[in-house]
Amino acid sequence: MSTLKADTIQSTGGGPVTLTKIGTMKHFAAYDLTSGSGVAYDSLNNSSFTDIDTGQQRLSYTNNFATAKGRTHNSGIGNVNDLTIYSLGINPVNESDILTSSIEVVSVYTNASSNAPFDYKYNSVESAGDLA
């Protein structure tokens, strides 16, 4: 087994190393939609939230992705409701809403008798792929 130890790793030009071509998370946002405008708890590469409608929001990236649909998305919702009754999910609204500069998502709950968009207290969206 080999061990690599370093205090600083620099690019060949002497600056910090930019890791843009590996399949790691390049965007995430954890946020609250109940305030009406979207409050970020924490984020990476997220420049703004746009509250479009109940449960529907656009997250804009600080640095664009290389391709619109050539990346993966993951999402999660936390709520105080009984999770044994409700199914909760965040998904892109339409295929056309997955852009290199932003993604538009909708938060939806489903139970045995109904489903609807809903503004949740805790939401998170993550994206992995190559940056432009």
H/E stretch holding 27: strand 25-32
pLDDT at 84 over 80: no
pTM for this prediction: 0.71
Secondary structure of residue 108 in the 3-state scheme: strand
* Number of structural domains found in the chain: 1
16 domain-assigned: no
Partner residues linked to 104 by β-bridges: 58
5 domain-assigned: no
93 domain-assigned: yes
2 domain-assigned: no
130 domain-assigned: no
Q: In this structure, how many other beta carbons lie within 10 angstroms of the beta carbon of residue 86?
A: 15
126 domain-assigned: no
Of 101, 113, 9, nearest to 50 by C-alpha is 101
Window from 29-38, 76-85, 102-111 with minimum mean pLDDT = 76-85
Structural domain for 34, as ranges:
25-119
Placement of tokens 């009754």 in the chain: 85
99 domain-assigned: yes
9 domain-assigned: no
